[in-house]
Amino acid sequence: MDAYDALSTFMSGARAALSPTQSWLAGLLGTNKADAGMIVNADTALTYSSVFAAVSMISSDIAGLPLQVYNVEEDGDQVPEPKHSTTWVLDQQPNDMQTSVEFRELLQSWALLYGNGYAFIDRDGAGRVQRLIPVDPTIVSRDIVDHKLYYDVQFADGETRRYSSDRMFHLRGLGGDATGGYSVLKLARNSWGLGLAEEQHGSGHFANRARPDIVLESDHNIDPKTAERFITEWEERHKGAANSGRPALLSNGITVKPLLVSNEDSQWLESRKFQRVEVASWFQLPPHKLGDDSKIAYNSIEAENRAYLTMTLRRWLVKWEQEATRKLINERDRRAGTKKVKHDQRPLIGSDMSSTATIMSQLVSAEIVTRNEGRQALGYNRMDDPEADELRNPNTGSYKEDSEPEPEEKDDEKDGEGLDAIKDLLTDRLERFNKIEASGIAKVLKGKKRPYMEAVQDFYSAHSKKMVDAILPILRVADANGFDVIVNAHDVADNLASVGVMDVSVHIKNCLGDDQVSDRADTVAAYIMARDTDVDNILGE
C-alpha cells in the first residue's frame, strides 16, 4: 500500500509541496530570489539553456549505461546476472510507469538540482526488490533518531509518513552532513540568477530596440515623400537572401553608413559565454560540452570522452553502484563479496577502446600483467588456457619445449653477463616474496585463528602458486638462452614453502595460548626476512 501511495504522490505532480499561493509568497519574501532579482527554482532554472543542457547530458549519459547485478567469482571474474530481480528493476522496468532510462534520468536530474534523488523500495514477502518508485525531493525531509536515518514523506492528502533507510533508495550529491546532499539550486541561485537576468535583458533589448544596421545620409534636404519612396525602393532591391550582394546606385548626395555593434552589445555577448563556463563549473563539466570551444585541450574525441568520464560521470556512477549494492543486495551476499551492482562503461568509452587495448598489450608484453589480468581490466572474463595466467611476452615466440632453437656459438663474456643479470632479477623476485611471506605469516599468527598450522598451510598453498607465476618466466628466459636451470619453478616454490612451514612450527611449538602465538609473530617474520636468498643452486652456466 505504501508503494502505491508513493507512486500516486509522484504521478499526481506532488511537487505540489508548495501551493500556488505559497510559491508566490516564497517569491515575495525572497526565499528563492537571486540578487539579480530573478526567481530561481527548478522550473525557472531549466529554462536557462546551459543548465538544461548540463542536467540533460549528465542524466541521459548515466541512464543510458547498462546497470546490472554481477556475481563475483573466486578467480575475480564478474559475471552479469540478467535474471536477478534487482537487475530487472534497475536495468529494465523499475515500476509500472517508467522504463529504466526514464527512471534513472529522473533521479539523476533531481540529484543534480536538489542534491538528493529518492525512490521508494518496494519488496515482496521474501525481501526481493519488486519496484523502485520515485519520490519528489521537495516533499521529503530527513531526520536522525538513535543514530539511524529516517525519511519523512508528505503525501498529497497532507499526511506525513516516516520510512526507515532500508525503504528508501537515496542518490546524494555533495553533502555537508551524513543525511544528504547540498541543493545546487540554492547554492547556485545568484550565479544562475545572473544568467537568467542576462537572458531577460537580451530578450528585452532585441524586442524593443529601434536600431537599423545601416543609415542612409544625404547632404541635401529631402522631403518625407521622397525619403519614404527611396527607402521602399531600397528595401525592394536589397531585402532578402535572393537580393543579397546586389549593387546599389545612390543619388542626391546619399551615402551609406553602417552601424557597428555597440560596446554594450559586445560585453553582453562575452558575458553570455562566461555564463556557460560558470554553469559548467557547477556540474564539473568540461566547458566544451556546453558549447565553449575557446579552451579545448584535447586532440581527439576519445580524450574528450575520457575527461568527461573522469571529471563528471565517474563519481555519480560510483554513487549509483554503491547505493544500489547497499540497499538492493542482501547483506549475506554483500558481506561475502559475491554480488555487486555495476555499470558497464564500455558503451561510453568504446571509442577509446583502441588506445586502451594498446596500453594493455604493452603491459602484457612487458610481463607486468598476465593476459587474463588484461582481459579483466578491459571488462572481459578470463580464458581457460593455463598459460593465460602466466607472466609471458606473447611477442617473443614459443618456449624451448615448443620448438628447439638452432644452436649458436656462445660468447663466454656475454653469457656471463647475461647469467648475472638473470640471477639478479631472480634474486630480486625472491627477496620481494620473502617480504610478502613475512608480512602474510605475521598476519596469520596475529589473527588468532585456530588451528594455526592449518591457516599457515593455507597461506603457503596460495603463496606458492603466486611465486611460481612470478619466477617461471625468468627461468624460462634462462633456459631459452642456454643456461642450466637446476631446479624448476614449482620445486623452488614447494621447497621454500616447506622451509617456511617448518620455521613457523618450530617458533610456535611451545606457545601456550593465543597471546603467546601473537607475540611470536614479529619474531617469525624477522626470521623469514633474514633468510639467505641463494640462487646459485637454482641457475648454473
User: pLDDT band for position 133 (50/70/90)?
Assistant: very high
User: pLDDT band for position 399 (50/70/90)?
Assistant: very low
- Residue 243, domain extent: 212-258
pLDDT of residue 16: 40
| 127 lies in the same domain as 252 | no
At 462 the three-state DSSP class reads helix
Helix 189-208 / helix 49-63 crossing angle, nearest 10 deg: 130
> Residue type for 231, please?
I
| 429 lies in the same domain as 392 | no
**Best-predicted range by mean pLDDT (64-78, 173-187, 223-237, 317-331):** 317-331
| 352 lies in the same domain as 433 | no
**Best-predicted range by mean pLDDT (257-266, 329-338, 437-446, 521-530):** 329-338
d(CA 123, CA 169): 12
- Cα 58–Cα 63–Cα 67 angle in degrees, nearest 5: 130
**Burial class of residue 334 (count of CB atoms within 10 Å of its CB; 0-12, 13-18, 19+):** middle
User: pLDDT band for position 234 (50/70/90)?
Assistant: confident
Residue 427 lies in a domain: yes
Residue 274 lies in a domain: no
- pLDDT per residue over 346-377, tens digit each? 777 655 566 667 777 777 887 777 888 878 77
| 479 lies in the same domain as 509 | yes
Residue 305 lies in a domain: no
| 460 lies in the same domain as 512 | yes
Domain boundary among 167, 183, 199: 183
Residue 218 lies in a domain: yes
- Cα 46–Cα 181–Cα 65 angle in degrees, nearest 5: 65
Rounded to two decimals, the pTM is: 0.57
Using left for φ > 0, alpha for ψ between -120 and 50, and beta otherwise, residue 146 falls in left
Locus of grid cell 605469516: 441
CATH code for the domain in which residue 124 is found = 3.40.140
pLDDT of residue 12: 52
Residues in contact with 427: Cβ distance below 8 Å, sequence separation at least 6, in sequence order: 533, 535
| 9 lies in the same domain as 128 | yes
pLDDT of residue 460: 78
Domain boundary among 362, 396, 430: 396
Residue 402 lies in a domain: no
pLDDT of residue 518: 73
| 439 lies in the same domain as 485 | yes
Beta bridge partners of 160: 154
Residue 279 lies in a domain: no
Beta bridge partners of 120: 133, 168
Beta bridge partners of 258: 214
CA separation (Å) from 150 to 26, 108, 315, 321, 385?
27, 21, 25, 21, 51
Locus of grid cell 540497499: 327
For residue 151, the 8-state DSSP code is: E
- Cα 390–Cα 394–Cα 398 angle in degrees, nearest 5: 95
- Report whether pLDDT(328) > 90: yes
Do residues 153 and 161 make contact, with C-beta atoms less than 8 angstroms apart? yes
| 527 lies in the same domain as 426 | yes
d(CA 181, CA 183): 6
pLDDT of residue 402: 45
d(CA 379, CA 115): 31
d(CA 423, CA 221): 105
| Closest residue by Cα to residue 66 from 100, 112, 108 | 100
- Cα 274–Cα 276–Cα 281 angle in degrees, nearest 5: 95
| Closest residue by Cα to residue 121 from 94, 159, 88 | 94
Count Cα atoms within 13 angstroms, Cβ side, for 325.
21
| 118 lies in the same domain as 13 | yes
User: pLDDT band for position 385 (50/70/90)?
Assistant: confident
At 128 the three-state DSSP class reads coil
Average of per-residue pLDDT values in the chain: 77
Residue 382 lies in a domain: yes
Pairing relationship of beta strands 67-72 and 78-80 according to DSSP bridges: antiparallel
| 420 lies in the same domain as 385 | no
Residue 246 lies in a domain: yes
For residue 309, the 8-state DSSP code is: I
Specify the number of domains making up the chain.
4
d(CA 378, CA 89): 26
| 423 lies in the same domain as 479 | yes
| Closest residue by Cα to residue 284 from 54, 45, 7, 17 | 54
Domain boundary among 258, 285, 319: 258
Q: Please say whether the dihedral angle defined by the alpha carbons of residues 442, 445, 447 and 452, taken in this order, is positive or negative.
A: positive
Cell of 534: 641463494
Question: In terms of pLDDT, which residue wins out, 435 or 67?
Answer: 67
Cell of 262: 555597440
| 378 lies in the same domain as 482 | no
